[in-house]
Each structure stands twice: as C-alpha cells, then as structure tokens.
Amino acid sequence: MNQVNDQTSDIAAPSPGAGRRLHPLPVRIMHWINAVAMLVMITSGWGIYDDDVIIRGFQFSGFWRLGDWAAWSLNWHFAGMWFLTVNGLIYLVYGFASGRLREKLLPIRPAELVQTVVDTLHFKIAHEDLTVYNAVQKLLYIVVILAGVSQVVTGLAIWKPVQFSGLVSLLGGFQTARVLHFAGMAVIVGFLIVHVALALLVPKTLWAMVAGGPRLAARRRAKQGHLT
C-alpha cells in the first residue's frame, strides 16, 4: 500500500476524476471516530477527576462532565477507551503502512516553523494548498498523536496498577502516572482548542475532512499541464 506509488500511477490515469482524495475515506472515518471518542474520554475523565482532585480546589463544573456521578463517568471512560485505542491503533498501522504519516507530517524544517509562527501572528492563515500541512500543523499533529499514545499507556497503568506494576514503577509511581495522565489530557485539550478554531477559520479544511477534499492525481496532472 504505497501511497506515493499510487499517486504516480494515478498521474497516468486517463480519467480526470480518478485518483486518491486528500483525506481517503478510512482517514476520515478514523478521524471522526477519534474526535467523538476523545470528547467522551475528556469529559468523562473530568467526572472521574472531580471525585478525587489532583489540584486542590480545582473542579470541573457539572456542565462539562459526562456522567452524573463518578461511577457513571468511569463507565463512559471505559467504553470510550476501547474505541479510542482500537481506532488509534488502526490509524497508526494504516499511517505507517501507507506512508501517509511520513509523507504528511515529515520533514519539519525549523526555518519553516518560525516562518509559519510569524505568519500566524500576522493573521496570515490562508492555507491555500490543502494538500500540504504547514510546519506548525505537522508538529502539532505529531505532538497530539504522541499525547494520545501516552494517554493509553498512563491510563493502563492507573487502570490496572497491580497487573502493570512494572509500568507503574517505570512511570514513577501511581500518583505520578495519574498526574501524567491529567497532563496528557491538558495537552490534548490545548491542541483541540487551536485545532477546532483553525478548522472553523478555514472551513474548506473542515469540509475536506468530511468529503475527502481534492483528488491528488487530478491536482498533480494539472500541475504538469495535463489539465487547466
């Protein structure tokens, strides 16, 4: 399943409508399953947190919590966990096997990173070419994917501390694993605020994640002068 090869062969295809979309159907399905599962995990996690807070005096209001009381939140958390983990694993296997992760998220050049930050500070976020992620996007996607993996690992440690006692010690103990799990949630929520705001500011990216976006082969043929 080599996407680069797929695209190369698509360039020679005669039909103008042919070719892979920017976001192939499996990516879109996995993205939206992940989005729902992540929201369930975050809001139910807040319900569990409120029962035994980490930061004294800091609680989440009932409006933001999934589950009327901690036991219900825990049920939601365990249900969401399976969707998040299985879907995330499939996304990673698909991403590595198809070459999508490498192709879309690498390389990240420091100069490009700085330029994108400067452009963003000047509100230049036109995002003309949907098929290429800018350096900040690439970095944020890598960070959030790693944060997702870290949530599953720290979550396993605090869910089954006896069975995974080795993992708990590796993470610095039960309480540290809990704090790391909370910190991972904060990173993901921070990402989500920026991610959703940018998707709303540039709605064509949002529509592309729903409908698939432009066909890559057609775009490439156009670049090579086969289409106007």
Q: Is 135 in the site for ligand HEM (CB under 6 A)?
A: no
* One of 141, 164, 174, 182 touching ligand HEM (CB under 6 A): 141
Q: What is the rounded distance in angstroms from the CA atom of residue 76 to the CA atom of residue 191? A: 22
Residues 186 to 215: which contact ligand HEM by CB under 6 A?
188, 192, 195-196, 199, 205-206, 208-209
Q: Which is nearer to ligand HEM, 71 or 189 (CB)?
A: 189
Give the number of residues in contact with ligand HEM, rule: CB under 6 A: 21
Q: Which is nearer to ligand HEM, 145 or 167 (CB)?
A: 145
Residue 8 CB, shortest distance to ligand HEM, in Å, is 20
* One of 136, 144, 171, 180 touching ligand HEM (CB under 6 A): 144
Q: Which is nearer to ligand HEM, 168 or 180 (CB)?
A: 180
Residue 142 CB, shortest distance to ligand HEM, in Å, is 8
